[in-house]
Amino acid sequence: MRVRHGCTVRVAAVTESFLPEVNGVTNSVLRVLEQLQGRGHQALVLAAGRGGPASYAGATVVRALSVPVPRYRSLSIGLPSPRFEAALRLFRPQVVHLASPMALGAHGVAVARRLAPGGEVLVGYVGRLAAEKRVGLLAALAGLLGRWPRARLVVAGSGPLGRRLAGLAGGLPVGLLGHLGDRRVLAALLASADVVLAPGPVQTFGLAALEALASGTPVVAARTAPCPSCSAPTASHPTRPRSGPG
């Protein structure tokens, strides 16, 4: 891949070995991350195993589910998981680097192919999963998105209706990320989405909508304050929904 001078590239490193395990594979990945940081590129590490740093050389480290290798307890084989796939989707890498690829590497290739140009449309929601947020509308939207194989709804948040949403979204193109404690991952979701939803008829401040707009991501909101007041005149404001739980 040839990169023009001054361009920033997003590189995802998928590796079966990483800190705290130290070996040739780990060392090679560390050097790659250091070089990417020195050149101003963005990186994400998806690794097998447990423990170790949450980031290295500016790259967030996401751990995949893993199982130990028989007779080599210090080695692990990474397994596909929704968290692994969600992290790749949110990061939207332009380059996927496979280090000592096994099961985790094969899954990384499969996800990367689905993310290639002409890939899916990402609809995001960030917020509390409660009645006042009209969570039921998210499940209804997911049903509509199911008609388009390249569309997907990603929901970040937790709350009393979390289990209900999980039940309604079963079998639909929905990624439930739960509470995102890492602000960098949350910012990546808001910036990477093609559109962010704010369906609740009542908002105390509408911070998620503001952050999405600040990232350059359009927002579809209920026609209630404060979201319309912070959106451009061309933004989408559906008809006010009926009152009642989501």
* 104 and 164 housed in the same domain: no
Tell me, yes or no, whether 14 and 34 share the same domain. yes
Residue 46 lies in a domain: yes
State how far the alpha carbon of 83 is from the alpha carbons of 58, 72, 80, 95, 234, in Å.
20, 26, 9, 19, 35
Q: Give how far the C-alpha of residue 193 lies from the chain's centroid of Cα atoms, to the nearest Å.
A: 9
243/211: higher pLDDT: 211
Parent domain of 152 = 121-230
Provide φ and ψ at 160, rounded to 5°: -65, -20
Whether 234 has a pLDDT exceeding 50, the answer reads no
Residue 219: inside a domain: yes
Residue 13 confidence class, pLDDT cut points 50, 70, 90: very high
Question: Residue range 105-124: average pLDDT?
Answer: 74
pLDDT of residue 186: 81
Query: Which residues lie closer than 8 Å to 187 by C-beta, 6 or more apart?
Result: 211, 215
> Is the per-residue pLDDT at 99 higher than 80?
yes
Is the pLDDT at 225 greater than 60? The verdict is: no
Domain count, the chain: 2
8-12, 30-34, 100-104, 127-131: lowest mean pLDDT where?
100-104
Shared domain for 72 and 140, answered yes or no, is no
- Inform me whether the pLDDT recorded for 228 exceeds 70: no
Residues 85 and 130 in one domain: no
Is residue 227 very low, low, confident or very high in pLDDT (cuts 50, 70, 90)?
low
Q: Give residue 233's pLDDT.
A: 45
Domain end marker among 114, 148, 178:
114
pLDDT 10s digits, 79-94: 877 778 788 878 888 8
Q: Is the model's pLDDT at 156 over the cut of 50?
A: yes
In a domain, 222, yes or no: yes
Percent share of the chain, pLDDT over 90:
20
Q: Same structural domain for residues 155 and 108?
A: no
Asked if residue 99 and residue 44 are part of one domain, the reply reads: yes
Confirm whether 2 is domain-assigned.
Answer: no
Q: What percent of the chain has pLDDT over 70?
A: 82
Query: Are both 159 and 225 inside the same structural domain?
Result: yes
Q: What are phi and psi of 55, to 5 degrees?
A: -155, 160
Higher per-residue pLDDT: 73 or 90? 90
Q: Verify that 136 and 225 share a domain, yes or no.
A: yes
Q: The CATH number of the domain where 216 resides is what?
A: 3.40.50.2000
Of 79-93, 124-138, 158-172, minimum mean pLDDT range: 79-93
**pLDDT for the residue numbered 73:** 66
Per-residue three-class SS string for the chain: CCCCCCCCCEEEEEECCCCCCCCHHHHHHHHHHHHHHHCCCEEEEEECCCCCCCEECCEEEEECCEEEECCEEEEEEECCCHHHHHHHHHHCCCEEEEECCCHHHHHHHHHHHHCCCCCCEEEEEECCCCHHHCHHHHHHHHHHHCCCCCEEEEEECCCCCHHHHHHHCCCCCEEEEECCCCHHHHHHHHHHCCEEEECCCCCCCCHHHHHHHHCCCCEEECCCCCHHHHCCCCCECCCCCCCCCC
Quick: pLDDT tens for 184-214. Answer: 778 778 877 888 888 887 666 778 888 888 8
63 and 133 co-located in one domain: no
Last residue of a domain, one of 53, 81, 114: 114
In-domain check, residue 37? yes
Do the domain assignments include residue 1? no
pLDDT at 246 over 50: no
Phi-psi region of 25 (alpha: psi -120 to 50; beta: other; left: phi over 0): alpha
Q: Cβ(78)–Cβ(47) under 8 Å?
A: yes
Query: Pick from 97, 114, 131: which residue ends a domain?
Result: 114
Residues 21, 100 within the same domain: yes
In a domain, 153, yes or no: yes
Say if residue 65 is in the same domain as residue 138: no
Reply yes or no on whether the pLDDT at 245 is more than 60. Answer: no
Whether pTM exceeds 0.85: no
Asked whether the beta carbons of 108 and 101 are under 8 A apart, the reply is yes
Taking only the tens place, the pLDDT of each residue in 25-56 is 999 999 999 999 999 999 999 998 888 999 99
Q: How far apart are CA 143 and CA 171, in angstroms?
A: 9
Quick check: is 244 in a domain? no
Residues 110 and 136 in one domain: no
Q: What is the mean pLDDT of the chain?
A: 79
What is the spatial distance between Cα 138 and Cα 121, in angstroms, rounded to a whole number? Answer: 16
